[in-house]
Amino acid sequence: MREIDLPRPDTMAPRWSALAAVLAAYGPRWAESAYSDGSTWHYDDGGGNWADIRFIGDGRAVLLGHDHEYSETYFRSAAEYFGEPETDLLAGCPPWWAEAIGDYLERIDTHGMWIGFIYGYDCGTWTRADYSADDGFTSLNLPLLD
């Protein structure tokens, strides 16, 4: 597991909420770019790149997404589809990560929804599987990070 430096989920949530409110004020098309369904906050840049954070409770969360232009990770069936070596984004991760995002994992095969990064938050620390490929996260330039 590799520790990563990101704001706490409870710090990101109000920022995500503020972004969602501003985008909703622009109208329905923009409102789809940032919103919450309760336990999951969604962001997309309108160009096919996205990130979601799912709050699990007990101070846990999973942040996942994909940048189709800059992600060099190929998770599960994306590896076969693109003819690239697989990056196991869940290697060495606690089982609750996969349980929390099971619906996303199903959509990899059913809808071809690629995932370029998966990060977990627990006990005050963000971590991810240990891989060297650029997962595209920083390229998203999520406005809710600062």
pLDDT tens figures, 24-74: 887 777 767 777 788 888 888 888 899 999 999 888 999 999 999 999 999
Q: How many CB atoms lie within 10 A of CB 144?
A: 20
- Given the DSSP bridges, would you call strands 117-122 and 60-66 parallel, antiparallel or unpaired? antiparallel
With a CB cutoff of 8 Å and minimum separation 6, the contacts of 82 are: 74
pLDDT tens figures, 84-128: 999 999 999 999 999 999 999 988 888 878 999 999 999 899 999
Query: Which pLDDT belongs to residue 135?
Result: 96
Query: Which pLDDT belongs to residue 4?
Result: 94
Closest CA to 63 of 101, 30, 25: 101
